[in-house]
Amino acid sequence: MSRPRVYMARKIPEKIWMPYKDQWDIQMWPYEDLPVSRTELFQQLKQADAIFTTLTDVVDQELMDNGKHLKIIANMAVGYDNIDVEYAHKKGIIVTNTPDVLTESTADLTFALLLAAARRLVEANQYIREDKWTTWSPLFMAGTDVHHKTIGIVGMGRIGEAVAHRAKGFHMNVLYHNRRRRPDAEKRIGATYVPFEDLLEQSDFVVCMTPLTRETEGLFDRKAFQKMKHTAIFINTSRGGTVNEQDLYEALKEGKILAAGLDVFQHEPIGKDHPLLQLDNVTALPHIGSATKDTRYQMMKLALENIELVLNGKKPKTPVT
């Protein structure tokens, strides 16, 4: 019997895929730092039984229709807004993601970004590197306190809750808004559920931790920023599409809110000319929420375990339902 064909839409370290080399006919996009082209993915899908994708690979109906043997799309991310899951399910294709293994690392980065935006860490680092530091002075690089302030988490899921835990360590008052109220999380972390508008009005830090869906697309728009305090800091480590970037730019420029920390953008990668990068009150990162070596290896391993299970006729560990 011929071996199942697995297409890896991104080059990953040999030690991760080596254990499968005798079981599978593995084909791989040869670049680590360059996403697979659509044409190549289209071609490869003709023969693939399984594909390993990353969040940069848009897997839509046209591509799936070309995947006559395709049984599983294993996304190396917890977010799966790059895949038309509804259509995959219609065609009987299993979609898997990589939840849990990245929760703590992403929460660490989210909190780091919050601290960096509040205490102007990147701006201060840049200042000293540009040799502008002349003296200590009373209000030099004065930022905003984080401790004992109110944090409002929109999307109290796995990562949202892990961010809340960190906030509690800073003696913060934790508000949250979620699609469904979460009494279990409320008990565990002492968080208070509030309607979205109340969260915007009461929070010193507003953190977006929802997935990108039809409901959350553009959730943070002009109206939302207008409701926030003038001193509020907005943090986004979910997906750029949850924010109307033009509205965010105007809110930051006009002082409707104080600052923003952004790990994700509507179109990635952004270039240095992006309007948001022209503002000193924006701390920007290149989508590195889960980027620790340990976590990234675990994400790759989990994606391949899911492929192995499905190709052996078993249920995957982490299906997207």
Ligand X SMILES: O=C(O)C(=O)CO
Positions in the binding site for ligand NAI (CB under 6 A):
78-79, 99, 102-103, 106, 154-160, 177-180, 209-213, 215-216, 237-239, 263-264, 287, 289-290
55 is a site residue for ligand X (CB under 6 A): yes
77 is a site residue for ligand X (CB under 6 A): yes
For ligand NAI, the closer CB: 107 or 311: 107
**Binding-site partner at residue 55 among ligand X, ligand NAI, none, CB < 5 to 8 Å by type:** ligand X
> Which of these segments, 3-11, 73-81, 142-150, 223-231, binds ligand X (CB under 6 A)?
73-81
Interatomic CA distance for residues 231 and 115, integer angstroms: 15
For ligand X, the closer CB: 70 or 78: 78
Interatomic CA distance for residues 291 and 105, integer angstroms: 7
For ligand NAI, the closer CB: 61 or 213: 213
Residue 84 to residues 59, 88, 98, 215, 314: CA-CA distances in angstroms?
Answer: 6, 6, 17, 15, 23
For residue 72, the minimal CB distance to ligand X (Å) is: 17
| Residues catalogued as catalytic | 239, 268, 287
Which of 4, 261, 289, 316: binder of ligand X (CB under 6 A)?
289
Interatomic CA distance for residues 302 and 246, integer angstroms: 37
Interatomic CA distance for residues 170 and 178, integer angstroms: 22
35 is a site residue for ligand X (CB under 6 A): no
For residue 3, the minimal CB distance to ligand NAI (Å) is: 32
For ligand X, the closer CB: 23 or 298: 298
Q: What is the DSSP string of 29-42?
A: -S-SSSPPPHHHHH
H or E element that contains 294:
helix 293-311
Q: What is the DSSP string of 191-211?
A: -EE--HHHHHHH-SEEEE-PP
**Binding-site partner at residue 316 among ligand X, ligand NAI, none, CB < 5 to 8 Å by type:** none
For residue 234, the minimal CB distance to ligand NAI (Å) is: 15
**Regarding beta strands 72-75 and 94-96, do their DSSP bridges make them parallel or antiparallel, or are they unpaired?**
parallel
For residue 78, the minimal CB distance to ligand X (Å) is: 4
CA angle 50, 95, 298 (to 5 degrees): 80
290 is a site residue for ligand X (CB under 6 A): yes
Binding site for ligand X (CB under 6 A): 55, 77-79, 102, 289-290
